[in-house]
């Protein structure tokens, strides 16, 4: 190996460590017995790893319920986003029509509205529709705010597939739907996977709308429930981070899974 490569690799691995450090600390804290967490100054490593923190956290709070809420909200909003984004992205990629540009612009502008910026309006709307404290409200909001990204990324992938490929399948007697399911979808699978994972994670991590709209404990997703392990009345940092890891690890794995598509997805979706 050349000296330069060694230097670059060394630097890069240091950077990787720096990015992982907070999450390593999260893991260590999750494994520390509670009495050790109140020591001052703090300890670097727990005297013993308390793995049972990870089992006790399930009874310390209705974590299973919150997990179920998060899965339902993230899953349903991903499905809803896809159901809306797929036809729109496909149609705008395949057809020129009046107002096509206007539609794509609308989608782009929508991306500028974050749930945080509109949270007061969203709250007022949900009150008016009598949807506060429902999962439906969270599903609708997450689906709508992730729609623009999905439309753009899928539009990019669909546009890149030559029409001839589809037409060949169509002429071979596959039919319109057959051409779509046997040619277009498989070729644009990376885009589809990226859109799905991205939406799922964004909905999974959504905080402010859930904080504002959800009231009952059994309708609160993980993001809203987890911080309540540490309040002015109680401090269970070990449970807080055990629960955090339970919520973080699956989505990080999902995200790592689409890493190779992220670069091309970002290029197709936005840089163009």
Partner 1 sequence: MAASPPRRGAARPAASRLAPLLWLGPSLVLIAAVVLWPAVEMVRTSFLRISSSGLTLGGAGAGNYRELFTSEALVPVLLRTLLWVGGVVGVTMLLALGLGQLLNARFPGRRVVRWAVIVPWAASVLMTALIFRWMLDNDSGLVNRVLLDLGVLDAPVNWLAEPGWALFWMMTVAVFVSLPFASFVILAGLQAIPRDVYEAARVDGAGWFTTYVRITLPMLRPALIIASIINVINVFNSFPIIWAMTRGGPGNATDTTTTYMYKIAFVEQDVGQSAAMAVVNFGLVLVMVLLYLRVTREAR
Q: Which of residues 147-206 bind partner 1 (CB under 8 A)?
A: 147, 151, 159, 163, 201, 204-205
Least distance (Å) between residue 200 CB and partner 1: 11
Least distance (Å) between residue 227 CB and partner 1: 7
Q: How far is CA 222 from CA 49, 57, 59, 191, in A?
A: 24, 13, 15, 28
Least distance (Å) between residue 189 CB and partner 1: 19
Assess whether the previous peptide bond of 41 is cis (omega < 30° from 0): yes
Using an 8 Å Cβ cutoff, are 46 and 111 in contact?
no
CB neighbours of 62 closer than 8 A, spacing ≥ 6? 217, 218, 225
Identify which range of 53-61, 175-183, 185-193, 245-253 contacts partner 1 by CB under 8 A: 245-253
Residue 123 Cα to chain centre, angstroms: 22
Judged by CB under 8 A, the chain residues 93 through 152 that form the site for partner 1 are 95-97, 99-100, 103, 106-107, 110, 112-114, 116-125, 127-128, 140-141, 143-145, 147, 151
Nearer to partner 1, 90 or 157 (CB): 90
Judged by CB under 8 A, the chain residues 47 through 66 that form the site for partner 1 are none
User: How many whole angstroms separate alpha carbon 102 and alpha carbon 2?
Assistant: 53
Using an 8 Å Cβ cutoff, are 151 and 85 in contact?
yes
Identify which range of 60-68, 177-185, 186-194, 237-245 contacts partner 1 by CB under 8 A: 237-245
Nearer to partner 1, 43 or 48 (CB): 43
Q: Which two tokens stand for residue 91?
A: 């149609």
């Amino acid at each position: 190996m050349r000296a330069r490569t060694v230097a670059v690799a060394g630097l890069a691995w240091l950077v990787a460590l720096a990015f992982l450090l907070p999450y390593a600390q999260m893991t260590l804290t999750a494994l520390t017995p509670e009495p050790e967490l109140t020591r001052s100054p703090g300890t670097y490593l727990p005297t013993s790893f308390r793995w049972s923190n990870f089992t006790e956290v399930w009874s310390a709070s209705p974590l299973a319920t919150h997990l179920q809420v998060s899965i339902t909200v993230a899953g349903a909003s991903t499905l809803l986003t896809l159901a809306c984004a797929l036809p729109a992205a496909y149609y705008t990629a395949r057809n020129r029509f009046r107002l096509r540009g206007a539609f794509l612009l609308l989608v782009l502008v929508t991306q500028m509205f974050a749930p945080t910026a509109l949270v007061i309006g969203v709250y007022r709307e949900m009150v008016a529709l009598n949807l506060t404290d429902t999962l439906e409200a969270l599903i609708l909001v997450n689906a709508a705010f992730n729609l623009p990204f999905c439309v753009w990324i899928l539009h990019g992938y669909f546009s890149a597939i030559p029409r001839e490929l589809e037409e060949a399948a169509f002429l071979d007697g596959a039919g319109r739907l057959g051409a779509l399911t046997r040619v277009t979808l498989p070729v644009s699978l990376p885009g589809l996977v990226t859109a799905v994972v991205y939406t799922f994670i964004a909905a999974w991590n959504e905080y402010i709308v859930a904080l504002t709209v959800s009231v009952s404990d059994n309708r609160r997703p993980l993001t809203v429930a987890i911080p309540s392990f540490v309040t002015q009345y109680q401090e269970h940092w070990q449970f807080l981070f055990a629960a955090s890891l339970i919520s973080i690890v699956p989505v990080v794995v999902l995200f790592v899974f689409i890493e190779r598509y992220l670069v091309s997805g970002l290029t197709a979706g936005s840089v163009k």
